[in-house]
Every structure is written in C-alpha cells, then in structure tokens.
Chain A
Amino acid sequence: MKRQIPLIIVLILGIFFFFQFFVPSRISTNILQTTLQWTIVISAFAIVLAIGSLFNHHMLKIRRRKPHWWNSIVTLAALVVMALLGIFGRVKGLEPLGELYRKLFHYVQSPMDQAMFAILAFYMASAAYRAFRARSQEAALLLISGFIVMLGVIPFGSMLWTKIPDIAEWIMMVPNMAAKRGILFGVGLGITATSLKIILGIERSWLGGGGK
C-alpha cells in the first residue's frame, strides 16, 4: 500500500492533466491554474527540508569542531538574518528591516554572486586551453567557432575584420541552431518518454529502494 497509493495518485493526476491540455474550456483552465498554484505551495515546503539539511550539516561541523568550523557559524547566521529580514521586512511598521534586507542583497549577495561567476572566466579560459588544444578535427571546430563567436560580440572583432560579427551571427543562426534543434528534439522525446513512464508507473525510482 505504501507504494500503491503514490502510484495511483501519479496515474490519476498524470492522465487528468494530460487530457486537460486538449480541453480549452474555462473550467478546465481554472482547474489547471488552481492546481499549479497548489504545486507552488507544495514545492515551497520542500525548501524547508533543504534548509534543514543545510542546518544539520553545519551544526555537525560546529559541534565536532571540524577544520574551519567557525565559517559554518557565518553561514548559519547569514541564513537566519537574511531569511528573517526578508520575511518580516514586509510587515507594516517593520519597513527598516526590509530596507536592510534590500541593502544586504545589493551590497552583499549580488556582488559576491557576480564575483563568483566572474572568476569562472579565468578558469574557463585555462580549462579551454587544456581541453581544446586542437587535437582533432572536432576539437578544432569547437575552438574556432567559440573564438569567432567571442570576437563577434566585442568591438575588437569588427576592428580586426568587419565581417567577423556577420560570421558569428551565421554560426549562431545556422550550424548552432541546427545542432540545438537536434538536441532539443532528443530532449523533447526524452521528457515525453520519461513522463509517460512515470504516469504509467514503469519508472519507479522516485519511490526509493532502487525502483523495485
């Protein structure tokens, strides 16, 4: 029963919402909208599990005095402060908390987010050097197309040769789009097949226990 009930729920909801797509009535659309609203609420509760797991991980590090354990205090304190400011900052009379929340976002979260991704530019460049040293025809194609696209979007590219932006656009619009379309086609078929397998109860790995 522990496995049958979830499988029946998936089957009923899956078949119902599959056919809902083909019924464009107002009632059908309203049911879809309400259900999507419900799923947003349900998935929001899963965040609590994720935060609980993060808390457990860092509390364990603090309790066992693992190396650099004090950094875990920073993580937990930042999490609690940011969450509370974000939640209570919208309450009437507590607007200063909301202002502090926005400041923390603009001057702490956002700069670090950008800096984290910015340093990836260096690592991608060095990884590209190691990975793409045109050892084969395919690697050479990848290297050349990447290089032209990069040159195509900066003023230096058109300074070198005025046609470079046009070639970059051609790469994006013809071979790149062809490959992306082919991959998307496969992804679409994959999603369709997996969805059907889940609805019909053939794919059961989400139940745990290795899908038995």
Chain B
Amino acid sequence: MIFSTNPWVWIAAILTLCIFSFLYKENAFYRFAEHLFVGVSAGYGVAIYWNNAIVPNLYVPVFHQHNYWFIIPGLIGMMFFFRFSAKTGWLILIPLAVLLGTGSGVYLAPTFQADVLKQMQSAIADATNLELGGWGLVWGLVAFVGVLTTLSYFFFSREQKGALKISANIGIWFIMIGFGASFGNTVMARVSLLIGRVQFLLTDWIHIIK
C-alpha cells in the first residue's frame, strides 16, 4: 500500500472518511466536516452569484459599458436590506413584487404549454400513432390509460366511488410503479456516488487500484 504524497488528496480522503464515520454514529469528526461543508458550500454559492450574476449583469454593464439603466435592478435588489429596519421593512415587498410579477407573467403561458398541452398532445399522439404498429400502439394506449387514471386519482371534486374509484385505483398502480422507478434511479445515483468515493480512496489515496 503506497499512500499519496499530494496533501490535497489527503485532505479530500480524510474529509470523505469524516463524513462516512456518520454511518457508525454521530461524532465530532462528522460534525466538523458537516460544518465545514456548510461554510464552504455557502461561500461557493456567494462566489458563484458574484461572478455569474452580479459581475456580468450589473458590474460590467454599469462600469465597463456605461449602461446606467442597470443601476435600477441593483437599487431594487438593495431594497431587500430594508428587512433589517422595523419602520421601512415593508419596502422588501417591492423587490419581491418585481420577482413574483415577472416570474408569474413570464412562466404562465410557457408552463401551461409545456406541462399541460404538450403532455396531453404527446400522450394522445402515442396512443393513436398507427405507424408504431403492434406492441408500440398497445403500449401507447396503456400509457394513455395511465395518464387518465393518474389524473382521476387526483380528482377530488367528486367522492371517489363507483367508476371513479376503479379508475383512481388503477391510477395509484401507475403512480406506485412510477415512484418505484424514481426510487430505483435515485438509489442507483447514490450508489454510483458511493462507488466514486470508494474508488477515489482506493485509487488516488492508497493506490490499491491502479
């Protein structure tokens, strides 16, 4: 076993082991790594916002391109700091209103188009596309039934009994299979990260795997 001579690899390996130590029980090493992680991530977030949001959208337009219109969003953004004043605290609602109004207006139509109309269009297209032929058409129809029954499960305007109950029950089967698939994918993503970390420890740190 030949250990790495790179001090950064040692830091990464020790911090990884500190986090993994939580599998035994909560301990001082884990708590240290956890707090370090929170601080580093928050600092990283600040730097990313500064470099990717403030510099290209405020600093460069105002100080390099002399486009003074861009001072306005800066001033509106600064209104968030009224949060610390008891008297003028309500002014924080102005930047919130700008963000909410713009967000609601900009995404209203595209969301309806992408999440409602396009989804329905694709579901119907798959169920009626004769070119798919044979099993393709059957699975298209099954998926269409799945969409309708899933929707019926979330239909609460009427008491779920009779045909609606049967439809809702079929819907819950589709939903459960969907959740199971999502769960399986999530677990495999986490396992993949675990393999990555173990590989790092065995390859880069103690050089067992070449």
- Which chain A residues have a beta carbon within 8 Å of chain B's beta carbons? 2-3, 5-7, 9-18, 20-22, 32, 35-49, 51, 54, 68, 71-72, 74-87, 89-90, 101, 103-109, 111-122, 124-125, 128, 137-139, 141-150, 153-154, 170-189, 191-192, 195-196, 198-199, 206-208
- The answer to whether A6 touches B108 (Cβ under 8 A) is no
Which of chain A's residues has its CB closest to B30's CB?
Answer: A119
- If the complex has contacts A9-B98, A78-B39, A148-B184, are A41 and B47 also in contact, measured as CB distance less than 8 A? no
Chain A residues lying within 8 Å of B182, measured Cβ to Cβ, are 176
A108-B15, A170-B139, A181-B119 given; A10·B97 CB < 8 A: yes
Do the beta carbons of B146 and A178 come within 8 Å of each other? yes
Query: How long is the Cα–Cα vector from A14 to B32 in the complex, in angstroms?
Result: 46
What total of A-B pairs shows CB separation below 8 Å? 401
| B91 nearest CB neighbor, chain A only | A2
Q: Does B102 contact A (CB under 8 A)?
A: yes
Measured CA separation A183–B187 after assembly (Å): 21
Q: Is B203 an interface residue (CB 8 A)?
A: no
B binding-site residues for A, Cβ under 8 Å = 8-9, 11-13, 15-16, 19-20, 22-23, 28, 31-51, 53-54, 57-58, 70, 72-74, 76-78, 80-81, 83, 90, 93-112, 114-116, 119-120, 122-123, 139, 142-151, 153-154, 171-191, 193-194, 196-197, 200
Chain A residues, CB < 8 A from B32:
71, 74
Question: Contacts A39-B98, A121-B190: A175 and B47 contacting too (C-beta < 8 A)?
Answer: no
Asked whether A112 lies within 8 Å of B33 as measured between CB atoms, the reply is yes
Instruction: Return chain A residues, CB-CB under 8 Å to B120.
Output: 185
Of B47, B95, B108, which contacts A86 at CB under 8 A? B47
CB pair B104–A180 under 8 Å, yes or no, is: no
